[in-house]
């Protein structure tokens, strides 16, 4: 279990959020048994950039994305996916507009001439 089981994100300062993101990257790197040099090379960034990020001193979103990709954790960003949600009224209208039966095709009479 982690040291922090519940974080009230809206109460954190921007600096504190940066530090949490840096700590997350550091712990993920350590869990994957990677050195800073290895991860930095895989992410295509300088080791000093990674070191600053892990300390919460570098808040570049691009660096964060590169690090998540190198750690195979990019799927964590699924929370930011925009999903279309239908209201109950819209769902009811869709259900009502579905076809209930099939109409037989009209037979055209063929007039032999």
Residue 53, in any domain of the structure: yes
The reply to whether 56 falls in a domain is: yes
pLDDT (0 to 100) of residue 1: 40
- Global pTM value: 0.68
Residue 34 lies in a domain: yes
Residue 24 lies in a domain: yes
Instruction: Please indicate, yes or no, if residue 47 is contained in any of the structural domains.
Output: yes
Q: Let me know if residue 57 belongs to a domain.
A: yes
Say what the pLDDT of residue 5 is.
61
The yes-or-no verdict on residue 97 having pLDDT over 90 is no
Indicate if the pLDDT at residue 90 is higher than 90.
no
Structural domain count, the chain: 1
The pLDDT, as a whole number, for residue 110 is: 59
Domain assignment present for 111:
no
Domain housing 22: 13-74
Least confidently predicted of 37-41, 55-59, 74-78, 100-104:
100-104
The answer for 33, left when phi > 0, alpha when psi is -120 to 50, beta otherwise, is left
Q: Minimal CA–CA distance to 73: which of 24, 23, 1? A: 24
């Amino acid at each position: 279990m982690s040291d922090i089981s519940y974080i009230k994100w809206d109460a954190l300062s921007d600096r504190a959020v940066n530090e949490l993101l840096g700590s997350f990257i550091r712990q993920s790197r350590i869990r994957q048994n990677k050195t800073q040099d290895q991860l930095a090379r895989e992410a295509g960034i300088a080791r000093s950039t990674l070191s600053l990020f892990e300390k919460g001193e570098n808040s570049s979103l691009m660096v964060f994305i590169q690090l998540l990709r190198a750690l195979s954790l990019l799927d964590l960003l699924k929370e930011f996916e925009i999903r279309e949600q239908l209201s109950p009224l819209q769902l009811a209208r869709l259900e009502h507009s579905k076809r209930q039966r099939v109409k037989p095709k009209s037979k055209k009479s063929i007039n032999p001439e």
